[in-house]
Amino acid sequence: MPGTPPTRFVYLGPEGTFTEQALRTIPAAERGIRTPARSVPEALEAVRSGEADAALVPLENSVGGAVPVTLDELGTGSPLVITREVVLPVEFVLGSASLTSLAAIRTVAAHPQASAQCRNWLRANLPDAVVVDMLSNAASAAAAAAGEYDAAICAPIGIPRNNLTVLAEKIADHADAVTRFALLSRPAPPAPPTGDDVTSLAVMIAHDRVGALLSVLTELAVRGINLSRIESRPTGEQLGVYVFFLDCTGHVAEPRLGEALQGLRRICAEVRFLGSYPRHRWSRQAQDEPLPTQPGLTNKDFADSAAWLARLRSGEPS
């Protein structure tokens, strides 16, 4: 991040959750002040008000999909920009206050999303246990540590925090499940391109115009820009009016993405820039290498053509 590095971080709490685990993979956050927030809006408001420098919140899960409250805050709240993404494997464990057999477990504390992602494992290994809904993975671990329930499904970080004993590891039904988190700050110039970046946008289009969404996609496609994600959310104004969230390959400082943004600005009712930031790279990702760019559609090609046009306009030989 350009300028003064952030030192005050807020994250979706409580402590001992996947969000804290993801935040602590960021060196500056590991050294800085970390404060849990009760909700995504509360975390982001701390950044908007200046109480915190940056906030880490969940953006999407490979099993459960997008996090609606985060998208709504990005699309309609006071502007914030993504400066970094963190992709964290979601590995649930079963913990207990003491070593015990699975056959002896009668009650399991779990956040509803956690129990849903471990449904098959629970059916196969704890068919008679009662799963009790908790407010968070951290609350589940704390309840098991206090002896309120026989065991808990929680994040690995919750085991040492609560002095629990691991009874089973990697119990999620989807072994490769991940959650993508976004580090958000107040608007500022983005860091320079790395050559493997993501640009996020929120766009509103005229819902009563034929081919409006196709026009948006065309602005990207004709410039060889890969659209890696598109998601829609209602604005709340009226039925049929949506905000579209786009993740594109490239950086706002690059000529071809800059041209695409100008094109979107011309045809869309509103375009909100949500940040250009390095793509998170991790070993499980099947497509870990940037997609090759078609001939004539590289950043150099766009820069050369812009320079050629400038020469024409100035009267220089082409």
3-state secondary structure the chain: CCCCCCCEEEEECCCCCHHHHHHCCCHHHHHCEEEEECCHHHHHHHHHCCCCCEEEEEEEECCCEECHHHHHHHHHCCCCEEEEEEEEECCCEEEECCCCCHHHCCEEEECHHHHHHCHHHHHHHCCCCEEEECCCHHHHHHHHHCCCCCEEEECCCHHHHCCCEEEECCCCCCCCCEEEEEEEECCCCCCCCCCCEEEEEEEECCCCCCCHHHHHHHHHHCCCCCEEEEEEEECCCCCCCEEEEEEEECCCCCHHHHHHHHHHHHHCCEEEEEEEEECCCCCCCCCCCCCCCCCCCCHHHHHHHHHHHHHHHHCCCC
Give mean pLDDT, residues 270-293.
Answer: 72
pLDDT in tens, 101-112: 999 999 999 988
Q: How confident is the model at residue 213 (pLDDT cuts 50, 70, 90)?
A: confident
Per-residue pLDDT at 35 exceeds 60 = yes
pLDDT at 294 over 80: no
Whether the pLDDT of residue 307 is over 60: the answer is: yes
State the pLDDT confidence band at 132, using cuts at 50, 70 and 90: very high
Q: What is the pLDDT of residue 308?
A: 79
pTM summary value:
0.79
